Amino acid sequence: MNKKEKTDFILKTLNKYFPHPKVFLKAPNDFCFLISVLLSAHTTDNIVNKVTPELFKKAKTPKKMSTLSIQEIEKIIKPCGLSKRKAKGVLGVSKIIQEKYRGKIPDNFSDLEALPSVGHKTASVIMAFVFKKDAFPVDTHITRLAKRWHLSSGKSIKKIEEDLKKNFPKNTWRKLHLQMIYFGKNYCKARGHKKSDCPICSSI
């Protein structure tokens, strides 16, 4: 199986198992979605989705979020872990978006990545799912699958992202990001993985 055959097979299989993948995080607006993505670092989306309704009941806009204290935010988001650092990030992001960008999330990588606690992966998620740009966010599931499927041997997130972008058509990136995460969670898990049981690993 050459590279083209392999990527075609991967796309075909992912489309078979997850034809209509949905974004995991639930949020009432784009700003809240950004906050949810920040909180999702080093925890599960399920935990974030349980925590954020209380937070967003208090504040759904950067202006309102900026009025909360770090202690208020920290208390609510504690189940997400790293609550002190994340609360500081949430407040810092909210204040900058309100003061510098008049309450609007910036729509480019350089401005997004300049925000507190916003790294390249978070910026990619926002670019892909808020602004519908051709971005390919890479998380731990995608990193694992990219290496198992010999699509990348990169040691950095940016290198893995670069390799994946070369392998797959631009118009598949956003959907593929979600499909690979769903597939990784259900069929190509980090622990207890058996090559023979995986619909992709067993065939490439």
Percent of the chain with pLDDT over 90: 96
Instruction: Enumerate domains of the chain plus CATH numbers.
Output: 3-22+135-197 (1.10.1670.10), 30-129 (1.10.340.30)
Indicate if the pLDDT at residue 183 is higher than 90: yes
Q: Are 104 and 129 a contacting pair, CB within 8 Å?
A: no
Length of the chain: 204
Q: What is the pTM of this model?
A: 0.92
Catalytic residue set = 121, 139
Give the single-character DSSP code of 12. H
Indicate if the pLDDT at residue 1 is higher than 90: no
Q: Are 131 and 109 a contacting pair, CB within 8 Å?
A: no
pLDDT tens column, 108-121: 999 999 999 999 99
d(CA 66, CA 68): 6
Across the range 87-102, mean pLDDT stands at 97
Q: Are 77 and 39 a contacting pair, CB within 8 Å?
A: yes
